[in-house]
Chains A and B, each alone.
Chain A
């Protein structure tokens, strides 16, 4: 039984929400952590367990507004772990906000390097809070 892994996001690290029972897997926010190895270690370990006995259909979502170059490597390491799942049973869903070309391009590049199916999906802008 694999317990869910939840790490709250901050201005420097993304929100991690990995839940096997709910079949929900998402990493969202920004990742500019100083020590990406340390931050992603528990995520990596969780996923290592998960891929040994994955669900029937895994949709793994990334919604990364921004990540620094050392985080890019960590993201790739997670995706490479997912490659251990039979490829017809796993999809990487790469989400980006409308008009965010940089996040889109980064997703397309990672797709090229990966062996998995990718869905690269744009979602509409959230309404910005107006300053009063």
Chain B
């Protein structure tokens, strides 16, 4: 991950009010985490859609084949499933991408085309037929999930298959749910090609999870709680450490991020490669704060681990000196836990604020 990839991500997801994605092995903890997160971040105007979105998320999750038994975060691989939920304007999108054997593509395509071309009455009929069909295949459902998705959203299910090799392809599917109360004329839907692009970027950077949204205190609270809940099963030091710093960084964004129309927009990403976690964040920051923050990061980047330890211990007893050019406990702590430097970049966007991106390996 580089600060450049954070920039790119932030720009692609520029219009997203919420975007959460996960790539890796799925388990119930991840599912409840994702549904909680999205529920807590849905704007007031879409409150009525909450239950429907949770239902569709669960339905989509269960469509993804591989379920892991453990609560331990596993490193994503080329074969990992991908799940994403996003809100742009009046529409919510629930996206899944998973591997499929090429030999099964035709069956899935047929089912999807069937539900996509049926009207309400035909769907109800289809639902009954499938329910009473004695020849259900062992995978179950025989497309019941698809029928439910279409009935709940009153829309079509865009999908695509991207061939990887002679045996396997990636199966992309998107559920669109539009709030009729807030929909504006001419509002167009995000297409599945964008998903394919995001999926590619996520794979390139070994990303396990990302979240783009509002990072005000109120919005970060539930995210932190959720992380905390999931931490109780984290006995592995690397994992606990990664989450420790994620909490620190999120609290920092919620405190110091630049507020635009009551929102502190931000992005965080976690990647995992060869057992090592990397955290990346991106957020707006007031231009007036840039110089001090730069100084602080440079200060800790230039200190040896011994000196960082000494400084940390000194501040522990004496408190932080009031000179705002010197780093606080959180930043010192972060610097001594990473073997490399803290990478950062500031991009001035106008005379008020800049975009601040940071990556750190733990």
Please list the residues of chain A having a beta carbon within 8 angstroms of any beta carbon in chain B.
11-12, 30, 32, 34, 66, 68-70, 72-73, 76, 80, 99-102, 109-110, 112-113, 128, 131
Contact = CB atoms under 8 A, between A and B. Distances in A.
B168 interface: no
A68 B228 contact: no
A66 B28 CA distance: 24
B134 interface: no
Contact of B237 (A68, A69, A102, A109): A102
A105 B217 CA distance: 29
Interface string B221-255: 00011001101010101001100100110010010
A73 B320 CA distance: 9
B330 A69 contact: yes
A12 B225 CA distance: 7
B329 interface: yes
Nearest to B333: A69
A113 B316 contact: yes
A82 to B, nearest CB: 13
Given A34-B251, A113-B316, A69 B328 contact: yes
A109 B217 CA distance: 30
B224 A73 contact: no
B224 A12 contact: yes
29 contacts: A30-B228, A32-B228, A34-B217, A66-B228, A66-B240, A68-B247, A68-B248, A68-B251, A68-B330, A69-B329, A69-B330, A69-B333, A70-B329, A72-B329, A73-B315, A73-B319, A73-B320, A80-B317, A99-B235, A100-B235, A101-B237, A102-B241, A102-B244, A109-B309, A109-B312, A109-B313, A110-B316, A113-B313, A131-B28
